[in-house]
A = this chain, B = another copy of it.
Amino acid sequence: MRNTSISLRNLYEQPVMWCLVPGGNPFSVMYVMLVKALQAHCTPEQYEDFGKRVERFEISATYAQTELGHGTYLRGLETRADYDPKTDEFVLNTPKISSYKWWAAGLGQCCNYCLVMAQLYINGQFKGPHMFFVQVRDEETFEPLPGVHIGDIGKKMGYIGTNHGFLGLKNVRIPRTRMLMRYAKVNADGSFVSSPNSVLNYFAMVRSRCLIVRNNAAYLAAAATIATRYSAVRRQSPINPKEREPQIMDHVTQQMKLFPEIATSLAYAMSSDYLWNLYEQTIKDIENGKYERLPELHSLSCALKVTSAVDSAAGVERLRLGCGGHGYLSSSNMSNFYALATAACTYEGENTVLLLQIGRFLMKSWRSALSGAPLAPTVQYLAEVQKNPDFGTWTGSWENMVKAMKYTAANKTRLAFKSLLARLSRGETEENAANHTGIEFTQAAELHGRAFVFSSFTDEVTGPKSQTRSASLNCVLENLLELYLVKETLNQMSNLLRFIQLTDTDLRRLQDRLETVLTKLRPDAVAIVDGFDFSDLQLNSTLGSFDGNVYERMFDAALNTPMNQKSVPKSFNEMLKPFMKSNI
């Protein structure tokens, strides 16, 4: 998994960097997202002027969109930039407390520039949200510039190393050339040229979401490595009273906590490869002026961002709980992985908001299919189910399970569409009807994402790439695919059973297959997670080190805490003794 030719900058996208900075890195957003955003939205002159300075780390910058009062809803942002033709400058302002920028990564302590999303006004006329590159601190002294109120937003559940910041601006003036003008433009006379395609505004986010899916898979893989290794060291509760307590991994219930997460991390890692290919194709299309696949890519990247974040966070937590009480110790590093994973449910588009967007995309696609219009490849299955509404027979083969998940997603879409129409026909406005159908939208959208993972993971394991792998590797991958499909099918059974006839024997057989594949994976489990190739430094865990010296490492970590440096804690004489003697 390691790549040897790495520079400081592209380190941020290399697996070798994964998890290396446990509390998050103040410059990740700069290198993973900001530089790309500048490349995409600067004119060549602008990029030469300040983009390259960021790239060379002469200045440090971040991206500020979210405000105290607004996040995902771009048009609700309140920071404004008024063009002043007299001085050829923009004047930036934070009108009230809710307009303060909030959550900008690295801005708390580490940035002297900031790419600020603000509402543009020319002659008092609103021109929509645009990006402005604003200097916020002196390059030499780092003192905040006049009119700039900047600071740290305070402690968080995780990402303690990222120093997220706030930013208030009061009549801060920047040259006109500091609005990113590759697409939309403001001329010196105040005339405005709008962007040729509004979707370009969110393209930077699409790329970030592709990366987030890979990161989510990595967090889950790292946590699975820790928990699996620990489960090979820890012994508890004899299965047979006359024998030694077994490795806890021999308990079937423990296998059920570990192996599905290994399979899930792989499913997302492989699905994200597919997504990444689609992203690169789309980049080329855009360069040739073709924007057709953008809504599909947007929707798919959102769906995978959502389900990978949900599954990774829940999986990491199941793995942490699988380490018993010791997983609660910070020295296990499991709660830190959880804090990193769950954050992805919210950043770069809050999950529910994204699911609603995907839901609307599905409604539009369903309607298009009804009218016979062509669909994007990854929603083609909707049209197929419309044409052939009968599922046919459940066989339980992998292909059949992929078909079943798509069929279920399509039927959930159909039902949501039906509910929407019913509401419209009862006289609700389009918007109210959409709000009231929100729960069904999110359910259909989630299944759309899951159906994609079913399909792409199966393709990656059984498709042409299998020819390039050894038979033994294919065997392990097939076991993990089997486990993933079976456990996810069981997880989604209430949805499946609504549309597909499964007999009691079919269900019994799925339970048997689940138990069988767990047993098959048991001997390989430690080797599989070793194969993920995380270093002890990356895992940073007393429970998950390669040598398995769990108790010694836990004990060392405890002895090294500041609390244990004196035989009598300070609090005793200062607080506890007087309190106990006071006889309340």
Give me the interface of A with B, judged by CB distance under 8 Å: 8, 56-58, 60, 66, 68-73, 76, 97-98, 100, 103, 108-110, 141-144, 151-158, 163, 166, 234-241, 245, 250-254, 256-257, 317, 321, 324-325, 327-331, 335, 339, 342-343, 345-347, 350-353, 355-356, 429, 431-432, 435-436, 438-440, 442, 490, 493-494, 497-498, 504, 507, 511, 514-515, 551-552, 554-555, 557-561, 563-564, 567-569, 571-573, 576-577, 580, 583-584
Q: Closest 8 CB pairs between A and B?
A: A493-B494, A157-B335, A152-B563, A494-B494, A155-B330, A151-B564, A253-B438, A154-B561
Chain B residue nearest to A335 (CB atoms) is B157
Among A166, A257, A356, A580, the one with the most B-chain Cβ atoms within 10 Å of its Cβ is A580
14 further contact pairs, Cβ within 8 A, besides A56-B583, A69-B235, A143-B568: A8-B584, A58-B580, A60-B580, A71-B324, A97-B551, A151-B563, A155-B561, A239-B431, A241-B431, A256-B438, A327-B346, A328-B343, A497-B497, A498-B507
- CB contact under 8 A between A155 and B8, given known A439-B252, A551-B97: no
Number of this chain's copies in the complex: 2
Which chain B residues border A571 with CB–CB below 8 Å? 109-110
Q: Is the CB of A72 within 8 A of B572?
A: no
Which chain B residues border A350 with CB–CB below 8 Å? 324-325
Task: From B103, B329, B493, B572, give the contact of A325 (CB < 8 A).
Answer: B103
Chain B residue nearest to A496 (CB atoms) is B494
Q: How far is the CA of A498 from the CA of B58 in the complex (A)?
A: 64
Q: How far is the CA of A577 from the CA of B554 in the complex (A)?
A: 37
Chain B residue nearest to A241 (CB atoms) is B431
Q: How far is the CA of A352 from the CA of B108 in the complex (A)?
A: 42
Task: From B154, B257, B504, give the contact of A558 (CB < 8 A).
Answer: B154
Chain B residue nearest to A504 (CB atoms) is B498
Task: From B144, B253, B257, B331, give the contact of A356 (CB < 8 A).
Answer: B253
- CB contact under 8 A between A68 and B555, given known A8-B584, A329-B155: yes
Q: Is the CB of A142 within 8 A of B431?
A: no
Which chain B residues border A560 with CB–CB below 8 Å? 154
- 21 A/B residue pairs, CB under 8 Å, sorted by A: A58-B580, A60-B580, A69-B551, A71-B325, A72-B237, A108-B563, A141-B568, A144-B567, A152-B563, A154-B331, A154-B558, A155-B330, A155-B331, A252-B439, A253-B355, A254-B352, A327-B346, A439-B515, A490-B494, A493-B494, A497-B497
- CB contact under 8 A between A329 and B156, given known A68-B555, A497-B497, A515-B436: yes
Q: Is the CB of A346 within 8 A of B321?
A: yes
Which chain B residues border A577 with CB–CB below 8 Å? 142
Task: From B109, B324, B343, B439, give the contact of A572 (CB < 8 A).
Answer: B109
Which chain B residues border A568 with CB–CB below 8 Å? 141-143
Q: How far is the CA of A429 from the CA of B239 in the complex (A)?
A: 10
Which chain B residues border A343 with CB–CB below 8 Å? 328
Q: Is the CB of B321 within 8 A of A351?
A: yes
Chain B residue nearest to A512 (CB atoms) is B419
Q: Is the CB of B256 within 8 A of A439?
A: yes
Chain B residue nearest to A579 (CB atoms) is B57
Q: Is the CB of A346 within 8 A of B325?
A: yes
Q: Is the CB of B155 within 8 A of A436?
A: no
Which chain B residues border A234 with CB–CB below 8 Å? 69
Q: Is the CB of A73 within 8 A of B569?
A: no
Q: Is the CB of B564 within 8 A of A152?
A: yes
Which chain B residues border A515 with CB–CB below 8 Å? 436, 439
Which chain B residues border A166 with CB–CB below 8 Å? 555, 558
Q: Is the CB of B97 within 8 A of A252?
A: no
Which chain B residues border A346 with CB–CB below 8 Å? 321, 324-325, 327-328
Q: How far is the CA of A427 from the CA of B474 in the complex (A)?
A: 33
Q: Is the CB of A76 within 8 A of B356?
A: no
Q: Is the CB of B245 within 8 A of A156?
A: no
Q: Is the CB of A352 within 8 A of B253?
A: yes
Q: Is the CB of B329 within 8 A of A142?
A: no
Task: From B73, B143, B331, B347, give the contact of A567 (CB < 8 A).
Answer: B143
Q: How far is the CA of A563 from the CA of B151 in the complex (A)?
A: 8
Q: Is the CB of A555 within 8 A of B97?
A: yes
Task: From B8, B73, B253, give the contact of A237 (CB < 8 A).
Answer: B73
Among A317, A356, A440, the one with the most B-chain Cβ atoms within 10 Å of its Cβ is A317
Q: Is the CB of A157 within 8 A of B328?
A: yes
Task: From B57, B70, B551, B561, give the contact of A98 (CB < 8 A).
Answer: B551
Please give the distance in Å from A399's CB to the nearest CB on chain B: 22
Q: Is the CB of A347 within 8 A of B325?
A: yes
Q: How far is the CA of A65 from the CA of B259 in the complex (A)?
A: 30
Chain B residue nearest to A415 (CB atoms) is B508
Q: How far is the CA of A339 from the CA of B338 in the complex (A)?
A: 11
Q: How far is the CA of A254 from the CA of B257 in the complex (A)?
A: 30
Which chain B residues border A330 with CB–CB below 8 Å? 154-157
Please give the distance in Å from A207's CB to the nearest CB on chain B: 20
Task: From B60, B257, B436, B580, give the contact of A252 (CB < 8 A).
Answer: B436
Among A321, A551, A558, A563, the one with the most B-chain Cβ atoms within 10 Å of its Cβ is A558
- CB contact under 8 A between A239 and B435, given known A60-B580, A558-B152, A572-B109: yes
Which chain B residues border A435 with CB–CB below 8 Å? 239, 250-252
Q: How far is the CA of A555 from the CA of B110 in the complex (A)?
A: 20
Which chain B residues border A56 with CB–CB below 8 Å? 583
